[in-house]
Structure 1
Amino acid sequence: MLTAEPSAQAVAAATERLPEPSAAARDHLRRTLAASLRAPVAGQWPALLLEARAKADVRYVEPATSHRPVLGPVLVFAKRTFRGAFQPFINEVLRRQVHFNEAILDALTVVIENQREHARTQALWRRELEARLKQLEKEPPGPSSP
C-alpha cells in the first residue's frame, strides 16, 4: 500500500536505528536465500496441459470412419483419398499454427513451473517467519522504551 506517512526519510532513519543482526542470524538468512535460489526442477508435464499437448499438432487427425452401413465404406475411401492427395497442402497451411501451439504450451509449462517454485519458496519463507514469530513470543520482554 502506498502512503505519504511516514515519509521515506523517516523510514530510512528508523532503519538506521535498528540493531545489527548477529552473525548466526546473517548465516541463517544466507542459507535460507541459497535454498530459495535453487534451479527449478524439470518435471513431468502438468496434468492440465497433457490433453492440450496431445492435440498440439493439428495437422494429423484420427483415422477416417463412418457410421453409415451402406455408404460408409465409400465415404471412408473418399476421406482417405482426399487426405492423401491434399496432406502436403494441409501441413503447409497448418505449420505456423503447430509452431504457435508448441510455443504456447512451452510457455505455459514454464509459467506453471515458476508458479510452483514460487509457491515452494513462499512456503519456506512462511515457515521461517512463523518460527521467528514463535521465538519472539517466547523471548521475555526487554526494557521498554518511552
Structure 2
Amino acid sequence: MAAVAAAVVVGVAGCGGGGGKPAPAATTSVGASAPVMSVEAAYAEYQGLMGPGCATVDECQTLVTARLHAAHDLRDAMKAEDPSGYAVPIADVNRADRVARDYGTENLGAAGNMMAVLQPIQAAITWYASNR
C-alpha cells in the first residue's frame, strides 16, 4: 500500500512553467475581508508541497491535508481575481472538498481516499498550469 501511496503522491505533481508573465503582487484585498494571496503565489505554495511523497498513512494524512489547504488558498485567490475565468479549477477544488468530507478529513491518508481527493486538485493545478 505504501508503494501505491507514494506513486500516487509523486504521480500528481503539477506542471511548471512561468509562461513569461511577471508575478503579480503577493496579495490582493477583497472588500473588508482578510487579504488573499495572488493566484501565482497560491500556485507556488502548492508547488512547494511537491516532493518525495509519503510512505506511511500518517505521513500521507499530513501531506494530503497540507495540499488540500494549499488548494483552498489557490481557489480563494482565483475567486478573488476572476471567478468566471477560473470556474473550472474552482469547481475542481470544490469537488476535492466534497470528497474529503465524504471520506472524512481525518482519514485522507488511506491510499484510495488520498487519490480521490488529490485527483480533482491535480486537475485544478493542471488546468492552471496549462491556461495561465
- Give the TM-score, by structure 2 length: 0.30
- Give the TM-score, by structure 1 length: 0.28
> Relative contact order: is structure 1 or structure 2 higher (C-alpha 8 Å, sep ≥ 6)?
2
